[in-house]
Chains A and B, each alone.
Chain A
Amino acid sequence: MGLFQSKHSDKKSPAQEAADVVAEVFDDQYREELRASGRDYLKKVMDENAEAIKKDLDATVAEVGSELKSYMTKRLDATIDDLNTEINRQLNERLVEYDRVTKDAQDQAVQSLNRNAVALHEKYQQLGQTLQQTIASQEAMMIGVFEENKARMAQTQEAQDEALDVLEHNIQSSQERSEQLGATLQKSVADQEQLLAKIFEENMERVNATKDAQTKALDSLTRSAQALEEQHQQMSEKLAKTVADQETMLVNVFEENMAQIIEHYLLGALGDQFDMKAQLPLIIGQMEENKQTIVDDMKL
């Protein structure tokens, strides 16, 4: 470096000159214009790129959406197919099981029905046999009974004949008794008439006595009514007198109470008017009146 400095001269090198020219050409204004031009160009390029990127992005999004939709549709269809298959399989299994259970139940029911039918048939046969035996025994019994009734009827016929004879005999005896009773009845009626006449007379006497008693009772009632009326009148007089007395007593009580009220009022009015000094002459005067009694008591 020191060597070059020692060879330093006033003549500028081309590079220096070029640098100077560049410095002159590329002044601040030119640089600012270049910057503005660059910014415009950059903006333009960026807008163009942004538009292209936006288009590409829209296309990509549309494509991705389409593919996603297709993919999801396929997956959904596959899932639905799987589900349908699984449901069908489970349904088939359940149906098979149901058919098997139903068949078993039907078989058991059929077997039970068959057993019941057999038992019913056996019971039917037993009942038939029992019925035949019963009918046979009933027939035998009915025949026996018929024979017995027949014999009884014959006996009854004989008894009826005997009873008829007895009845005829009884009718005759009854007629005789009836005649006797008629005579006795006539006699009794006569006796009753006499008795009734006697009773009637006695009753008449009693009725007359009752009439007398009623008359007396009416007289007594009349007297009682008069006495009651007199008592009522006396009680009315007494009540009037009592009311008058009560009224007088109430008036007296009222006057007494009024006197007490007046006295109370006077006491209340006077009580506040006298102090001890004002009362002193009255007290000494009253004590003077009772002086001898007090002295005598104090001496005891």
Chain B
Amino acid sequence: MNEQKIKTYTDFVLPPSVVTRRDVSHLIRDAEWVDNEMTTAQVRAKAGSNTPTEAAISGTFAEFLEQNKLTFDGSNERSALIKQLQLLKEKVPVIHMTFAVKADAESLQKLVAWVRESIHPQAVIEVGLQPALVAGVYLRTPNKVHDLSVRALLAGRHEPLVKELEALRGN
């Protein structure tokens, strides 16, 4: 419990299934829902109701709690955690990635794992689709743009092709 008290959003470890900022929003929504359910259960318990009111915690949120070694029992703990999650949603670093094809969940999780390992441990990505890129990724960080697509790769290599054509013409 003492360990939990000193945790802020900067200490949170995001599970691989949390890929985008929307997933963070889902975490907050799940936390709020569970909090409501548990508060309701407490009120009913005080009122003497015998209805079972155990709240079901979703897989991602449970994974988040487990990875961060958090409990979600006390009302104050829940409120603090929800507040920290909201702060996390506001402050979380976002990398925009535009792909040439639709990205599947598994690939996105691999990508976000690499990003958290190499760039920032709490980074999330925002996914876009642009078929004109052919392949690769068009990456946008807060201040820079990295065109790592095949289109950009080929665009800088006109000259060799032109030289080849010139050589053919010379022959």
Q: Give the B-binding residues of A (Cβ under 8 A).
A: 251-252, 255-256, 258-260, 262-263, 266-267, 270-271, 274-277, 279-280, 282-284, 286-288, 290-291, 293-295, 297-298, 300
Contacts and interface: CB of A to CB of B under 8 A. Distances in A.
Point out which of A274, A286, A287 has the most chain B C-beta atoms below 10 A from its C-beta: A287
A277 B100 CA distance: 12
B141 A294 contact: yes
Contacts of B104: 276-277
A279 B97 CA distance: 13
Chain B interface size, under 10 / 10 to 19 / 20 to 34 / 35 or more: 35 or more
Q: Which secondary structure dominates chain B's binding surface? A: mixed
B150 A276 contact: no
A259 B166 CA distance: 11
Nearest to A270: B134
Nearest first, the 8 A-B pairs at minimum CB distance are: A286-B148, A259-B161, A297-B141, A255-B165, A271-B134, A276-B107, A267-B134, A283-B137
B119 A295 contact: yes
29 contacts: A258-B165, A260-B158, A262-B161, A263-B155, A263-B158, A266-B154, A267-B154, A271-B100, A271-B131, A274-B135, A276-B103, A279-B101, A282-B135, A284-B110, A286-B136, A287-B114, A287-B137, A287-B146, A287-B148, A294-B146, A295-B118, A295-B120, A297-B141, A297-B144, A298-B95, A298-B119, A298-B123, A298-B142, A300-B143
A270 B135 contact: yes
A43 B65 CA distance: 139
Interface of B: 93, 95, 99-104, 106-107, 110-111, 114-115, 118-120, 123, 131, 134-137, 139, 141-144, 146, 148, 150-151, 154-155, 158, 161-162, 165-166, 169
